[in-house]
Amino acid sequence: MADTSGIPIVETPVLVIGSSMVGMTLSSLLAQHGISDCITVEKHASTAIHPRAAYFHPRTMQIYRELGLYEQMKQESYKYYDEHAGIYDVESLAGREIGRYMEDLNEGLERISPTSRLFLTQQMFEPLLRAHATKHGADLRFSTELLEFQHDATGVSALIRNTATGAKQLVRAKYLVACDGNRSFVRQKIGIRMQGHGLLSHSLTIYFKADLGRFVQGKYNGVIYVNNAHIRGFFRLDKTGREGFLAVNTAGERGTEASRFPAVNITNERASEMLRAAIGADVEYEITLLSPWDAVCDVAERFQVDRILLAGDAAHIVTPNGGFGGNTGIQDAHNLAWKLALVLKGQAGGDLISTYEAERWPVAKKTVDQVFERYIVRTAPEFRQEGMEVEEEVPEPHLELGYQYHSQGLATKGLPGGSVTSDPATATAEAGTMAHHVLVTTTDQTESPARPIAGLLGRTFVLVAGRDGGAWVRAARELSRKEDSTLPEVVAHQLAADGNESFYEKYSLLTSGCVLIRPDGFVAWAESKAAATSSGTTGISTTVEMLEHVLRGILCLSSSPGMQDFKSKM
| Active-site option among 220, 225, 375, 403 | 225
Q: Which amino acid is present at 281? A: A
Query: What are the Cα distances from residue 23, in Å, to 16, 156, 186, 333?
Result: 6, 18, 14, 8
CA dist 47 and 140 (Å) reads 11
Measure Cα distances from 21 to 37, 42, 162, 225, 309 in Å.
19, 11, 21, 25, 17
Query: Taking every pair of C-alpha atoms in the chain, what is the biggest distance, in angstroms?
Result: 84
The whole-angstrom separation of Cα 257 and Cα 254 is 9
Active site residue 225: yes
Rounded to 10 degrees, the C-alpha dihedral 77/460/332/308 comes to 140
Residue 146: which residues within 8 A CB-CB, separation 6 or more?
17, 41, 43, 158, 159, 160, 180, 185, 186
- Tell me what percent of the chain is helix, strand and coil, each rounded to the nearest 5: 30, 25, 40
Question: 551 φ, ψ to 5°?
Answer: -65, -40
Q: What is the dihedral of CA 335, 302, 346, 175, to 10 degrees?
A: -100
How far is Cα 224 from Cα 529, in angstroms, rounded to an integer? 51
Pairing of strands 39-41, 139-141: parallel
229, 245, 319, 536 from 375: Cα distances, Å: 17, 18, 7, 58
- The helix (run of H) or strand (run of E) holding residue 44 is none
Q: In Å, what is the CA distance from 253 to each residue of 232, 274, 488?
A: 10, 13, 60
Distance between CA 174 and CA 503 in Å, rounded?
A: 40
Cα–Cα distance measured from residue 477 to residue 490, given in angstroms and rounded to the nearest whole number? 7
> Minimal CA–CA distance to 39: which of 121, 149, 115?
149
| Residue pair 66/114 in contact by the 8 Å Cβ criterion | no
Query: How many Cβ atoms from other residues are within 10 Å of residue 107's Cβ?
Result: 10
- Whole-number Cα distances in Å, 35 to 132, 157, 176, 254: 15, 19, 14, 52
CA distance 305 to 339: 16
> Which residues are identified as catalytic?
225
